[in-house]
Structure 1
Amino acid sequence: MIASMTGYARAQGSDERRRWVWEARSVNGRNLEIRCRVPQGFDRLENPARAAIGTRMKRGNVSLTLTIASEQQSKPLRINRALLAELAGLVEEVRKGTGAAAPTADGLLRVRGVIEEEDGAEENEEAMAALDRALSGTLDEVLKALVAARAAEGRALSAVIDRHIGEIEELCKRAADRASAQIGTVRARFESQLAELLERAPSLSEERFAQEVALLVGKADVREELDRLAAHIAQAHTLLADARPDNPVGRKFDFLCQEFNREANTLCSKSADIELTRIGIDLKGAIERLREQVQNVE
């Protein structure tokens, strides 16, 4: 089953001091591009996160975000006594020099930096290692969920692609039926012109004119293009059946759509019949609809 490059997943976790959320989003892209955002002080998680994504996905633009919030509602306050003493010295110096009144205690406490929040006890290495393991476990959850979301999208996408391939196949059958009639139409048209010219110019070489008719009829023969289109259709069915997580087929499908379009263009340019031209235009539309869906296949 093919996988889509579109998906979203979210996983969260917590411990006694904090709670965290991993969010992962992916959209289509030519290659695998990863954007990872983690809070300051957790940069050590970025490279392992990128490696974990690389083992699970081959293509797409993937954005991974980690948000961490403290479980504590408020932290205890403390006075920065060193700063307060420095301010008091400066105030006394200014008061003596200018005769200004001394500031009140609450005025000094309003100065930024005098009152600070306590960070609490620093976590030891063992506690940090336990936190990293917990964060990595939640990361594994969110990446599994993202892969599952892409697979679910891929199942829906597979049905759509199969329907478009069936539409192309049906149009090719109609084109083949019409092309058989086109050869007779072209031959009859030029034989009629040949007879008319021979009546007007009896000395004109019938053999020479017959060669020109055969050349024009050959140019109007689209059987080669239809054969290649049939081969492309068979290849599309094979790609759809062979798609696996370890065998992404998006690039191959993209190239195949280019080949589909090339043959459809040639068929339209060689067509000498209005109905066959209409079928060719419909065929190009079906190929474009297939190409739009294929752009999201991993």
Structure 2
Amino acid sequence: MIDMVFSAEVTAAKASGVPIVALESTIITHGMPYPQNVETARRTEAAIRTEGAVPATIAVLNGTLCIGLETDQLDQLGQAEGVAKLSRADLAACISSGGTGATTVAATMIAAHAADIAVFATGGIGGVHRGAELSFDVSADLQELAQTPVTVVAAGAKAILDLPKTWEVLETLGVPVIAYGQDMLPAFWSTTSEFHAPLRMDTAEDIAKAHQARKALGVPGGQLVANPIPQTHEIPHDTLSPLIEQALTEAETAKITGKSVTPFLLQRIFELTDGKSLEANIQLVLNNARLASRIATELCKE
């Protein structure tokens, strides 16, 4: 049996039937600098509570799979060094070896499903990296969405990725991609993109019903809800595009590959936008947490 421990708040929520929203932990350890990472994690958890749900930030601490972090655990994780970045391939190994690691989208989905949590809020999913036709660098997040029955609320795929190929792979894998409240897919820091959404839903109730219908049909996998960042906080795609290209060129020159690519690109774009990308990232995470809470609440009514 896996050593899985629930926080006191999550334990109480499960006992009383209060909706729960899963949160990843790589945004704390690999996505933002300290202290913004801990501050954002706390703000995100608070946003979920304000909507009437309970947050369950997921991480592996000393070999224990934690479903929800206590205050001191969150503080420690936010300042820890050398924390492993866990996906499907290394989640079990980290647990079995007594290690400490932060969960990516894929690993968080696995843990959330194991803990019977149906909704997960994140910033943006991983996807097909630029040049994947040569490197075969495709995030495990896409396959996870195709096989693990969790509804994931994100601001689309990260804009540093090859978005056309990412959307194509999700379609091939049979993953429902639902744009919330608009006909175009968002592009992480940008509210809209050039890509038409295959599905559109305008209410949390409709998204919850789609989740339940998929479950009733016995169709494996989850669904991706692409929730646009509020326009007041977006960075237009035309502004970001040349900066992303510059960061990608720098990563290639420095021969940065694998799991190191995304943190490097996010850091460079933070520098190139004078910190605007970080504030946008914070706002989209909060926005996703609020919508995920409403979806989780609707699921509890079923």
TM-score range, shorter chain: under 0.3
Structure number having the greater helix percentage: 1
Q: Which has the larger radius of gyration?
A: 1
| TM-score normalised by L of structure 2 | 0.20
Q: TM-score, normalised by structure 1?
A: 0.20
Q: Comparing both chains, which one has the higher relative contact order based on Cα–Cα distances under 8 Å and sequence gaps of 6 or more? A: 1
